[in-house]
Structure 1
Amino acid sequence: MILLTGATGKIGREAVRLLGPVRTLVRTPSGGADEVIGDFDRPDTLDAALRGVGTLLLIGPAVASQTTVLDRAVAHGVRHVVRVTNHKAGDDSPVARRREHARIDAHLKASGMEYTLLAPNFFMQNLLALAPEIAGTGGFSGSAGDGRIGMIDARDVAAAAAAIATAPAEHAGRTYLLTGPELVTFADVAREWAAVTGRPVEYRRISAAEHRAVLESNGVPEAGSNAQVFELLAEGDGAWLSDDFAVVTGGCAAGVAGFSGGPRWRKVSYPSLTVSSMDTRTLPRQLLSIKEYLALGEVEPGFTELVEGRLVFSPSPGPRHNHATYALAFQLHDQLPDEFSVVPRVDIDLGLAPDGAPGFSRCPDLLVTTSAAIARTPEEDALRAEDLVLVVEVATPGSKRTDCVTKHKEYSDAGIPFYWILDLDDPVSLVACHRAGEFGYRNSPAGTGRFRTAEPFPFELDLAALLG
Structure 2
Amino acid sequence: MTHPRILVAAASGQLGRLVVDGLLESLPASQIVAGVRNPDGDAAKAFAAKGVEVRKVDYADPAGLAVAFIGIDRLLLISSNAVGHRLSQHSNAIAAAKQAGVKLIAYTSILHADTTPLGLGDEHKQTEAALRESGVPFALLRNGWYTENYAASIAPALAHGAFLGAAGDGRISTAARADYARAAAAVLTSDEDQGGRIYELAGDNGFTLAEFAAEIAKVSGKPVVYKNLSEPEFKAALVGAGLPEGFAGLLADSDAGAAKGALFDDSGQLSKLTGRPTTPYAQTIAAAVKG
TM-score where L is the length of structure 2: 0.85
* Superposition deviation, residue 103 in structure 1: 0.8
Aligned to 2:68: 49
1:239 paired with 2:258, answer no
Aligned mate of 2:253, from 228, 235, 239: 228
Aligned to 1:180: 203
CA contact (8 A) 1:10 1:155 kept: no
C-alpha distance in 1 between matches for 2:191 and 2:216: 38
Aligned to 1:190: 213
**What is the 5 A alignment of 1:124-273?**
124-167=147-190, 169-221=192-244, 222-261=247-286, 266-269=287-290
C-alpha distance in 2 between matches for 1:219 and 1:109: 39
% identical equivalent positions: 31
* Superposition deviation, residue 117 in structure 1: 0.7
* Superposition deviation, residue 168 in structure 1: 5.8
CA contact (8 A) 1:40 1:46 kept: yes
CA contact (8 A) 2:154 2:216 kept: no
Counterpart secondary structure, 1:46: helix
Aligned mate of 1:59, from 59, 78, 103: 78
CA contact (8 A) 1:27 1:39 kept: yes
Aligned to 2:99: 75
**What is the 5 A alignment of 1:20-35?**
20=24, 21=29, 22-28=32-38, 29=41, 30=43, 31=45, 32-33=47-48, 34-35=53-54
* Superposition deviation, residue 260 in structure 1: 2.1
Counterpart secondary structure, 1:134: helix
Kindly tell me the number of residue pairs found equivalent between the two proteins.
Answer: 265
C-alpha distance in 2 between matches for 1:190 and 1:128: 10
1:102 paired with 2:125, answer yes
Deviation digits for residues 248-290 of structure 1 (CA, Å, limit 9, x no counterpart): 22221122122223xxxx3423xxxxx3xxxxxxxxxxxxxxx
1:5 paired with 2:12, answer no
Cα 1:228–1:179 change in 2 (3 A) is: same
Higher relative contact order (CA 8 A, sep 6+): 2
C-alpha distance in 2 between matches for 1:168 and 1:201: 47
Q: Match of 2:7, as an amino acid?
A: L
C-alpha distance in 1 between matches for 2:134 and 2:160: 50
Gaps of 5+ in 1: 270-274, 276-468
C-alpha distance in 2 between matches for 1:171 and 1:69: 19
C-alpha distance in 1 between matches for 2:13 and 2:282: 23
Aligned to 2:19: 15
Counterpart secondary structure, 2:242: coil
* Superposition deviation, residue 185 in structure 1: 0.4
* Superposition deviation, residue 93 in structure 1: 5.8
**What is the 5 A alignment of 1:253-402?**
253-261=278-286, 266-269=287-290, 275=291
Deviation digits for residues 82-126 of structure 1 (CA, Å, limit 9, x no counterpart): 111011324x86544311111111111222221111112221010
Gaps of 5+ in 2: none
* Superposition deviation, residue 130 in structure 1: 0.5
Q: Match of 2:37, as an amino acid?
A: R
Q: Match of 2:54, as an amino acid?
A: E
CA contact (8 A) 1:143 1:231 kept: yes
Counterpart secondary structure, 2:134: coil
CA contact (8 A) 2:162 2:225 kept: yes
Q: Match of 1:58, as an amino acid?
A: L
C-alpha distance in 1 between matches for 2:257 and 2:138: 29
C-alpha distance in 1 between matches for 2:162 and 2:120: 29
Q: Which has the higher helix share?
A: 2
Counterpart secondary structure, 2:199: strand
Cα 1:214–1:171 change in 2 (3 A) is: same
Cα 1:73–1:223 change in 2 (3 A) is: same
C-alpha distance in 2 between matches for 1:105 and 1:246: 23
Counterpart secondary structure, 1:118: strand
CA contact (8 A) 2:164 2:234 kept: yes
Larger radius of gyration: 1
Cα 1:228–1:205 change in 2 (3 A) is: same
CA contact (8 A) 1:2 1:54 kept: yes
**What is the 5 A alignment of 1:422-437?**
none
Cα 1:174–1:23 change in 2 (3 A) is: same
Q: Which has the higher strand share?
A: 1
Q: Match of 1:212, as an amino acid?
A: K
C-alpha distance in 2 between matches for 1:237 and 1:124: 15
CA contact (8 A) 2:62 2:96 kept: yes
CA contact (8 A) 2:213 2:224 kept: yes
C-alpha distance in 2 between matches for 1:53 and 1:237: 35
C-alpha distance in 1 between matches for 2:166 and 2:132: 35
